[in-house]
Amino acid sequence: MMKVFLVDDEIAIRETLRNIFPWEERGFQLVGEAPDGEMALPMIRDLNPDILLTDIRMPFMDGMKLCAEIKRLMPWVGVIILSGYDDFAYARQAISLGVKEYLLKPITARELGEVLQRVANQIAAERRERESAASLRMKVASGNQFLREKLLASLFTDEGDRFEDQQLLRQMRDMGVNLSAGCYVVIDIAFPLKDEARAGARAALSALAEASGGSVFTCGMPQGTRALVLGDNERDAEERAYSFATSAAQLPELKDCEGLLLSIGETVTDYYDIRRSMRAARHVRHAAAHQSAGRRIIGVGEINDRPASLENLDLSPLNEKLQYAAASEVDTILAEYVDSLGPGAEGLSLAMGYLRVAAVIAAQRIVQEAGADPRALDQALVAEVMRAEGAAGLEAVKALIRQAIACRDKSGRGASDTPVGRARVYLSRRYSDPNLMLQDVAGEVGMSQSHFSTVFSQETGITFTQYLTALRIGKAKELLSATAMRSSEIAFAVGYNDAHYFSYLFKKHTGVTPSEYRKDNRE
């Protein structure tokens, strides 16, 4: 099933395209949408769609700029331009950016279906052609391609000197390959496959590299494949490396491969230091075998920096607020939570009952993720939390949470322990901001967007977009159950400017509309 991402600044257009076309019946999945290119770009990196359907004229980052960025970072994505302006200049620019189709609004379901199918067929044909060509080159040990891979493999040896490397650079240039760049990163791709399966995986990786437009080159190695990523600067090289690694891990030939590991070395600025990046990637592979079971993509800076898996996390807004909070923040967080339950909630038995359960679950999660047994909590205090009413109950809740936080801090897994931990704290405080984007959170924890997106999804078991959506939907459930706020008000309170889109997402994730949820959970 081909995944599609939609970008258009007009809410009505997005809603129409979302609703008029039978996406899944026709073999497509609408995985996300955004109102402008700036917001869309990190989501596209996160969701890795096959097809991008985008408007041209949008605020912040327009469609042409978005297409240019996608061509740079993810050139294997098929792009369809959707515009209300019959402008040849736009069409010509779109063609130069590799756009596959150019359509004028308004579009009917039939037109959309025909275009999507054409693009899907083109993508499938291109993939088959690249994989077939790469497979053939793997089997035929002759010609420029074989020599090119042999020359590239010589960069991934432990020995070498500048004279030999200069010769290699000239030889590659003579074959039409320019390895000159501002920065370089090596990716060590290990996969325990044999014979035809291994050859197929190498061919698929070679095809994906070819689709990068000269920014990624691969060569086979005994344990798998190594890739050389070229970038204009350190941030650009890292973005390309993590984008390539993310897409590589989702290739059909590797997606279900047990033991697949993509190890990303350090970024180097000198061509003659590529071996250093290779050795770092190899070190990551060896270290990851002992430290990072379950992760498929890991960078050189992530060794010895992984908390317990959050894969089975049941997202709860109160838990999110408290998970990495400091003891000094408990009073404020609980006060805000009680306020969200409605006026005078601390005196209502139903609201307090909800708070008790949420607090006990949060405390247990905090202790469990610190590596301790939840039964280490004072059971008498737990019993008091579940029994006490009013102000006394609230004080018991605070005491229990502080005890759990003390346990967490003693274990050394506090808020500042990992980038993902800091990101979750940041998200718990900023989820209601409708302009919150992945790049904001990545910047907060000092990572590039692609690097952060990869680390976040591996440590939580879900993508950044899925996490933020679940966090917002969880808060919306609370507000629907405990307040009289209108659905449009709740949409805004949890970070959505578009009430219709909020309702669409809510039903997609819960199976019911906001009004149905409120009715079912108030009876």
Q: How far apart are CA 12 and CA 9, in angstroms?
A: 9
Spatial distance between the Cα atoms of 355 and 357, rounded to a whole number of angstroms: 6
Burial class (CB in 10 A: 0-12, 13-18, 19+), 466: middle
C-alpha 467: how far from chain center: 10
**Tokens linked to 486:** 């209108």
Least confident of 56-70, 115-129, 212-226: 56-70
CA pair distance 192, 289, nearest whole angstrom = 13
Question: Residue 352 pLDDT more than 80?
Answer: no
List of domains in the chain: 2-128 (3.40.50.2300), 140-302 (3.30.70.270), 317-522 (1.10.10.60)
Asked if 346 and 394 count as a contact pair (C-beta separation under 8 A), the reply is yes
Please provide residue 263's backbone torsions phi and psi, each rounded to the nearest 5 degrees.
-100, 125
Write the DSSP string, 220-277: EETTEEEEEEEESSHHHHHHHHHHHHHHHHTSTTTTT-TT-EEEE---BSSGGGHHHH
User: pLDDT tens digits, residue range 404-462?
Assistant: 888 877 765 554 567 887 888 888 888 888 888 888 898 888 888 888 888 888 877 78
Q: Residues 345-355: what's their mean pLDDT?
A: 58
The reported pLDDT for the residue numbered 95 is 65
pLDDT tens per residue, range 484-507: 888 888 999 999 887 888 888 898
Q: Strands 2-7, 51-55: parallel, antiparallel or unpaired by DSSP?
A: parallel
**Of the ranges 49-58, 261-270, 360-369, 376-385, which one carries the lowest mean pLDDT score?**
360-369
304 pLDDT above the threshold of 60 = no
Predicted confidence at residue 314, as pLDDT, reads: 37
DSSP characters for 339-372?
HHT-TTGGG-HHHHHHHHHHHHHHHHHHHHHTTS
Q: How confident is the model at residue 4 (pLDDT cuts 50, 70, 90)?
A: very high
Q: Is 222 helix (H, G, I), strand (E, B) or coil?
A: coil
Give, in degrees to the nearest 5, the angle at Cα 48 between 46 and 54.
100
Residue 333 pLDDT grade (very low, low, confident, very high; cuts 50, 70, 90): confident
Q: What is the pTM of this model?
A: 0.58
Average pLDDT, the chain: 80
Q: Can you tell me the distance from the alpha carbon of 317 to that of 32, in angstroms, rounded to the nearest whole number? A: 23
Q: What percent of the chain has pLDDT over 90?
A: 12
Residue 379 CA to residue 250 CA, distance in Å, equals: 45
264: helix, strand or coil: strand
Expressed in angstroms, the distance from the first to the final Cα of the chain is 40
Look at residue 143 in the predicted model and tell me its pLDDT.
46
Q: Examine the pLDDT at 96 and tell me if it is beyond 70.
A: no
Q: Is the peptide bond before 514 cis (omega within 30 degrees of 0)?
A: no
pLDDT in tens, 162-188: 777 777 778 777 777 788 889 999 999
